[in-house]
């Protein structure tokens, strides 16, 4: 993808996040993380299987294990983004996000323990539907002003 396409995707995601989060009561001080997701389906799975399982099973498991977190799976408006999604993680506060990380940004013991707790549902998703990769950058996280 070229820089213009990436810019359009980020702009569209930002607009969508703003609309979705506003409807959910986006407040000053919330931390919003937007991450690009690429899905690799198993031969017998469909994207509908994957998204349904992710929304109904995976996101709630993350929300249970990270206090102050809400998750949203976003599908691209444009059809040329096949097997691509975005995940939006909304933390109530920056402190909610930061409690899981060391000052250098690495995962602390709380983050590692939460990741172990969601591992079984992630493994089930991989077995049933396929795997996914998430693109993380420092431009992913935003604080509502």
The pTM (predicted TM-score) of the whole model is: 0.80
The chain-wide mean pLDDT, for the chain, equals 88
Q: How confident is the model at residue 37 (pLDDT cuts 50, 70, 90)?
A: very high
Output the pLDDT for position 137.
86
Class of domain 3-143: alpha beta
- Give CA–CA dist 141/31, Å, rounded: 7
| CA angle in degrees (0–180, nearest 5) for 70-72-74 | 165
């Amino acid at each position: 993808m070229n820089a213009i396409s990436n810019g359009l995707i980020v702009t569209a995601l930002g607009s969508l996040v703003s609309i979705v989060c506003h409807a959910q009561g986006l407040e000053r001080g919330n931390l919003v993380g937007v991450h690009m997701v690429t899905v690799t389906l198993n031969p017998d799975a469909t994207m509908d299987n994957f998204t349904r399982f992710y929304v109904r099973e995976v996101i709630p498991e993350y929300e249970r294990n990270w206090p102050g977190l809400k998750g949203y799976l976003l599908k691209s408006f444009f059809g040329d983004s096949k097997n691509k999604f975005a995940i939006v993680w909304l933390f109530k506060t920056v402190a909610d996000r930061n409690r899981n990380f060391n000052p250098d940004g690495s995962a602390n013991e709380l983050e590692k323990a939460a990741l172990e707790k969601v591992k079984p549902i992630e493994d089930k998703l991989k077995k049933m539907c396929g795997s996914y990769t998430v693109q993380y950058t420092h431009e992913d996280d935003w604080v509502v002003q």
